[in-house]
């Protein structure tokens, strides 16, 4: 399982890596969690640049298919739509917060919304 800086979670078989944490994943699935739903998007072979890796961990094969209690599988289209609404809401909230902070002299990093 690999968590990326942009919030995506990838699950796959680690086939190769190097000293910069560049990864090659096989049979990769991107798992999206929104509210109490999740969806798996098959991605196949996935190459991840090391600077985008936030967390890399091994999943116990016995627990691989167990999904945490509150989550239910839903169609990809529905989960994608809910994720889009959630991201837009978060952007609005962050924009208002940044505006308030700017009034007090604080200025955020450029391009910080990419990390969401």
Q: Mean pLDDT across the stretch 81-106?
A: 89
Q: How sure is the predictor about 70, in pLDDT bands with cuts at 50, 70 and 90? A: confident
Q: Could you tell me the pTM of the whole model?
A: 0.74
Position 107 pLDDT exceeds 80: no
The answer as to whether 31 is a domain residue is yes
**64 found inside a domain:** no
The pLDDT assigned to 114 comes to: 47
Range of the domain at 84: 2-59+70-115
| 78 occurs within a structural domain | yes
- 47 belongs to a structural domain: yes
Q: Is residue 103 included in any domain, yes or no? A: yes
How many structural domains compose the chain? Answer: 1
**Residues 32-66: tens digit of each pLDDT:** 999 899 999 999 999 999 999 999 999 887 776 77
Instruction: Please report whether residue 86 resides in a domain.
Output: yes
- Residue 68's nearest CA partner among 9, 7, 4 is 9
Domain of 52: which CATH number? 2.30.30.100
User: Does residue 65 belong to any structural domain of this protein?
Assistant: no
In 3D space, the residue among 18, 4, 116 whose CA is nearest the CA of residue 56 turns out to be: 4
- Mean of pLDDT values over 95-108: 84
Encoded tokens for 47: 């190459």
The residues, any chain, with a CB within 8 Å of residue 8's CB and separated by 6 or more, are 30, 32
Average pLDDT over residues 64-74: 80
User: What does the alpha-carbon distance between residue 98 and residue 105 come to, in Å, rounded to a whole number?
Assistant: 10
- Confidence grade of residue 106 (pLDDT, cut at 50, 70, 90): confident
């Amino acid at each position: 399982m690999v968590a990326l800086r942009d919030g995506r979670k990838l699950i796959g078989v680690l086939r190769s890596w190097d000293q910069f944490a560049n990864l090659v994943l096989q049979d990769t699935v991107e798992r999206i969690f929104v509210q109490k739903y999740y969806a798996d998007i098959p991605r196949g072979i996935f190459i991840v640049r090391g600077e985008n890796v936030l967390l890399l961990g091994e999943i116990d094969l016995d627990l691989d298919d167990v999904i945490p209690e509150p989550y239910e599988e839903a169609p990809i289209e529905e989960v994608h739509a809910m994720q889009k609404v959630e991201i837009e809401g978060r952007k609005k909230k962050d924009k208002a917060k940044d505006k308030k902070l700017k009034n007090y002299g604080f200025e955020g990093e450029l391009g910080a919304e990419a990390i969401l």
